[in-house]
Amino acid sequence: MKTTRIFFRILLAAAVVLLAWLCIDSVVTPIKFEETRAERETAVIRNLVHIRAAEAEFKLAKGYYTVDLDSLVMFLRTAPKKELLKEGALTDKQLENGMTEQKAVKILKDAKDRARKKLKTDNDSILYAYVWENDREVAKNSLQGFRRDTIYKNMIETLYKGEFTAENIAQITYIPFSDNKRFETEANNSYTTTQGIHIPIMEARAPFETYLHDLDRQELVNLIDKEEKLEHYAGLKFGSTEAPNNNAGNWE
C-alpha cells in the first residue's frame, strides 16, 4: 500500500513536471520560431534585393527579364555597367535662352572633335580642359565646366560595392538556409497593359518551406496556413507576373 502511494506520488510529480514543460514549451516554441524566422528572412531578403538589382540591369541591357539564373550570373560577370558622368549644370538663364542638355552635349562633342584633331589625343581630361579654355562655341554658350560622358564600370563592383566578386557572385541566386535551393523565378516578357503597352514583368520567390524547413513543423504549417487564408504568398518574393508592381517586395 505504501509502495503504491509512493508510485502515484512519483507519477503525479512527473505529470506536474511534464505539464509545466508543455506550458513553457507552448510559449517558448513560437517565440523561438519567430526569432529565427526574422533572422533568416533578413538574409533571404538581402539576396532578393541583389537579384532585383541584377534583373533591372539585365532588362535595361536586353529589354527583357531572364528566369535563367545562370544567364543572370554570366551577365553580371561579363557586362559593363554604363553610367553617365555629369559635371556642371545649365543655369536658368541658359535654359530660358533655349539651351538644352542635348544641345550642350552636341556643342561639347563638336568642340572635343576639333580639339582631338589639333592635340592628337583621346584623353578626355586634356580635351575638356582645352575646349573649356579655348573653344569659341563653348565660351559663346557659357559651357565651361559642363561635361556629360558615358563611362563603363565593372557591373559587380558597381552594383554590390565590393560585397561580391566574379568568383562568388552566384551566391545571390541561392536561398539562405535552404540546403542550396535556388530562388524560383518566373517572367512574362509579353505582358500587355489595358492601354496596349508591352511591359516585361517578373517575380522571384523563396517559399517558407525552403528556408524554414528545419524549424518546428507545426509552427511552419500554421504560418503557411495563415498566409494562404489571407491570400498572401507563403514566403518572400518581389515582383509579379500578374500585373506590373515596380518589382516591389512583399516585405516592403
pLDDT in tens, 220-237: 999 999 999 999 999 999
70 and 101: one domain? no
- Domain assignment present for residue 151? The answer is no
Within-domain flag for 150: no
> Is 212 inside any structural domain?
yes
Question: Is there a single domain that holds both residue 120 and residue 67?
Answer: no
Q: Is residue 152 part of a domain?
A: no
Compute the average pLDDT of residues 190-195. Answer: 89
140 pLDDT more than 80: yes
Does 182 share its domain with 68?
yes
Let me know if residue 63 belongs to a domain.
yes
- Pair (74, 173) in one structural domain: yes
pLDDT value for 118: 92
Domain shared by 176 and 204, yes or no: yes
How large is the average pLDDT for residues 126-142? 94
CA contacts within 13 A on the Cβ side of 45? 11
The verdict on residue 14 lying in a domain is: no
Kindly report, residue by residue over 94-129, the tens digit of the pLDDT: 999 999 999 999 999 999 999 999 999 999 899 999
Q: Are residues 118 and 213 in the same domain?
A: no
Position 6 scores a pLDDT of 61
Asked, for residue 23, whether it belongs to a domain, the answer is no
Residues 99 and 66 in one domain: no
Cell 507545426 sits on residue: 218
Clarify whether residues 172 and 232 are in a common domain.
yes
Residues 64 and 97 in one domain: no
160 lies in a domain?
no
pLDDT at 12: 55
pLDDT of residue 8 exceeding 70, the answer is no
Q: pLDDT band for position 151 (50/70/90)?
A: confident
Q: Are residue 70 and residue 177 in the same domain, yes or no?
A: yes
**Could you tell me if 215 and 95 lie in one domain?**
no
15-29, 74-88, 105-119, 171-185: least confident range: 15-29
Q: Is the pLDDT of residue 21 over 50?
A: no
Q: How far apart are CA 219 and CA 221, in angstroms?
A: 5
This model's pTM is above 0.75: yes
User: Which residue segment(s) compose the domain that 203 sits in?
Assistant: 30-79+165-239
Is 99 or 5 the better-scoring residue by pLDDT? Answer: 99
- Number of domains the chain contains: 2
pLDDT tens by residue, 200-218: 999 999 999 999 999 999 9
Residues 75 and 171 occupy one common structural domain: yes
Q: What share of the chain in percent tops pLDDT 90?
A: 81
User: Is pLDDT above 80 for 7?
Assistant: no
